[in-house]
């Protein structure tokens, strides 16, 4: 089965072709980082306009690199939400037009759920070896922990009460004077630390058994301490602060995953996904502190990409083949997310 995936939820216009749910034949990403860098974050309208320019060439390139034509594709999968609504509408409208024009099924995909699928791409694991599983999505918009019986069944067991983990990396990086996105810059700087214990950090959501995340306290702590230490112009202090912050931010994820592993002993594995999954320190900490076998995405499938949309789309398509026109569904932003989930859970 050949699925074309399309992603436009934030600042990456992406298209990919995936065979049989796991084999990535092509994965093209047009990143807008250089456009948004000067604003210190993603500007929604600029993102939507850039998607409009990029979508057609990116889809064409993905098909060409996979040595396919649109006629070879069995179905099209597109990110429906959550994300920036103007950005999503570009991908969704394009995909609806393409599916109608070529008479192909169109599979609407939840971006956050699809992230988990990133860990399964280009691997030959049988689903029976992996599931049930505990899945973490740690990205710029979400810090969600799931218990999953299969690649398409998600029980949300923990989420952030405030900022997402990646968002906290970005905001702290901005305070330090680094450009967007902040996660990779903080990781790089932390490697230069001469004294990683120089700055004690608070332990958010300390209650051991509570399965929830919180990052705003850590962000406030960092904002006070960066000023107090006068760190912005001092590379050594900056490196020590980055290292302490990184361990506190990642430590929270590791602690809560360890609690989830105790609470859900049926889980066979741990699927880690989202931009933060690219962090090598996180990978090391998880492998040392959590007994469950962690499965990490290859680096190109941590941050936003369309291969995860195509892969997850093909898992959905296998379950229900009924994704035909008219496509009466719409895109949803992160603010509609609660309502969309409530509707989906209503029998
Ligand atoms: O999954 P993603 O590309 O986009 C969203 O769906 O949000 O995640 C982007 C987030 C950003 O907040 C970025 O700073 C963070 O992932 N990130 C990292 C690293 N690489 C990206 N955070 C920590 N360490 C990294 N190496
Ligand atoms: Zn994402």
Cα–Cα dist 335/33, whole Å? 23
Instruction: Give the 3-state secondary structure of 56-123.
Output: HHHHHHHHHHCCCCHHHCCEEEEEEECCCHHHHHHHHHHHHHHHHHHCCCEEEEEHHHHHHHHHHCCC
> Is the CB of 304 within 6 Å of ligand 1?
yes
Lowest mean per-residue pLDDT among 108-112, 124-128, 153-157, 235-239: 124-128
> What's the CA gap between 191 and 196, in Å, rounded?
9
273 Cβ inside 6 Å of ligand 1: no
- Residue 235 neighbours by CB under 8 Å, 6+ apart: 192
Q: Please check the confidence at residue 27 and state whether its pLDDT lies above 90.
A: yes
Q: Is 26 left (phi over 0), alpha (psi -120 to 50) or beta?
A: beta
Query: Measured in angstroms, how far is the CA atom of residue 280 from the centroid of ligand 2?
Result: 18
Q: What percent of the chain has pLDDT over 90?
A: 82
Q: What percent of the chain has pLDDT over 70?
A: 96
Q: What is the three-class DSSP state of 250?
A: helix
CA distances from 297 to 67, 137, 157, 304 (A): 24, 11, 21, 12
> Sign of torsion, CA 310 311 312 314?
positive
Judge contact between 288 and 294, C-beta under 8 A: no
Residue 168 and residue 138 in contact, taking contact as beta carbons nearer than 8 Å = no
Pocket test of ligand 1: the residue of 79, 218, 303 to mutate, having most ligand atoms within 8 Å of its CB, is 303
Tell me the mean pLDDT in the region 62-76.
98
Dump pLDDT digits (tens) for 11-23. Answer: 899 999 999 999 9
Sign (positive or negative) of CA dihedral 6, 275, 182, 338: positive
Which region among 29-38, 44-53, 163-172 has the lowest average model confidence (pLDDT)? 29-38
pLDDT tens-digit readout, 270-307: 999 999 999 999 999 999 999 898 999 999 999 999 99
**Closest-lying ligand 1 atom to the alpha carbon of residue 182:** 14
Q: Which pLDDT tens digit goes with each residue over 176-213? A: 999 888 999 999 999 999 999 999 999 877 777 789 99
CB distance 312 to 109 below 8 Å: yes
Please report, for residues 3, 154, 345, the alpha-carbon distance to residue 102 in angstroms, rounded to integers and kept in the order given: 14, 32, 32
The verdict on the CB of residue 187 being under 6 Å from ligand 1 is yes
Residues 48, 89 contacting (CB under 8 angstroms): yes
User: Which residue's CA is minimally distant from atom 21 of ligand 1?
Assistant: 275
Yes or no: say if 174 and 222 are a contact pair by the CB < 8 Å rule: no
Q: What's the whole-number mean pLDDT along residues 157-180?
A: 94
- The mean pLDDT value of the chain amounts to 93
Adjacent-strand bridge partners of 298: none
pLDDT at 335: 72
pLDDT classification of 347: cutoffs 50, 70, 90:
very low
The pLDDT of residue 242:
98
* Ligand number with the minimum distance to the CA of 215: 1
* Contact criterion met (CB below 8 Å) for 119 and 271: yes
Preceding omega of 82 cis (within 30 degrees of 0): yes
Within 13 Å and on the Cβ side, how many CA atoms surround 217?
A: 12
| 346 pLDDT higher than 90 | no
Taken as a whole, the chain contains a residue count of: 347
118 lines ligand 1 (CB under 6 A): no
Q: Is the distance from the beta carbon of residue 170 to the nearest atom of ligand 1 less than 6 Å?
A: yes
Q: How far apart (Å, rounded) are the C-alpha atoms in residues 145 and 259? A: 11
More confident residue, 206 or 151: 151
Ligand 1 close to Cβ of residue 199 (< 6 A): no
CA of 167 to the centre of ligand 1 (A): 8
Mean pLDDT of 58-69: 98
């Amino acid at each position: 089965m050949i699925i074309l995936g399309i992603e436009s939820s934030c600042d990456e216009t992406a298209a990919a072709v995936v065979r049989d749910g796991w084999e990535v034949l092509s994965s093209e990403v047009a990143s807008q980082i250089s456009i948004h860098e000067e604003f210190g974050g993603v500007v929604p309208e600029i993102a939507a306009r850039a998607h409009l320019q990029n979508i057609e060439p990116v889809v064409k390139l993905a098909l060409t690199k996979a040595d396919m034509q649109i006629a070879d594709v069995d179905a099209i999968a597109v990110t429906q939400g959550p994300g920036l609504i103007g950005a999503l509408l570009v991908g969704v409208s394009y995909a609806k037009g393409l599916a109608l024009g070529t008479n192909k099924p169109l599979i609407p995909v939840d971006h956050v759920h699809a992230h988990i699928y990133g860990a399964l791409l280009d691997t030959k694991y049988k689903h029976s070896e992996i599931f049930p599983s505990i899945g973490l999505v740690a990205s710029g918009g979400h810090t969600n922990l799931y218990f999953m019986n299969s690649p398409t069944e998600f029980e949300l067991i923990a989420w952030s009460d405030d900022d997402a983990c990646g968002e906290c990396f970005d905001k702290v990086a901005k305070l330090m004077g680094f450009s967007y996105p902040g996660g990779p810059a903080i990781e790089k700087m932390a490697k230069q630390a001469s004294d990683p214990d120089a700055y004690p950090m608070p332990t958010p959501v300390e209650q051991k058994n509570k399965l929830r995340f919180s990052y705003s306290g850590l962000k406030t702590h960092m904002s006070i301490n960066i000023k107090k230490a006068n760190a912005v112009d001092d590379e050594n202090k900056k490196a020590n602060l980055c290292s302490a912050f990184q361990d506190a931010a990642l430590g929270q994820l590791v602690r809560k995953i360890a609690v989830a592993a105790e609470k859900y002993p049926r889980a066979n594995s741990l699927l880690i996904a989202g931009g933060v999954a690219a962090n090598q320190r996180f990978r090391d900490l998880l492998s040392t502190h959590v007994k469950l076998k962690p499965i990490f995405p290859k680096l190109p499938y941590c941050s936003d990409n369309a291969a995860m949309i195509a892969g997850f789309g093909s898992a959905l398509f296998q379950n229900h083949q009924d994704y035909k026109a008219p496509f009466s569904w719409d895109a949803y932003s992160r603010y509609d997310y609660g309502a969309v989930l409530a509707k989906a859970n209503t029998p």
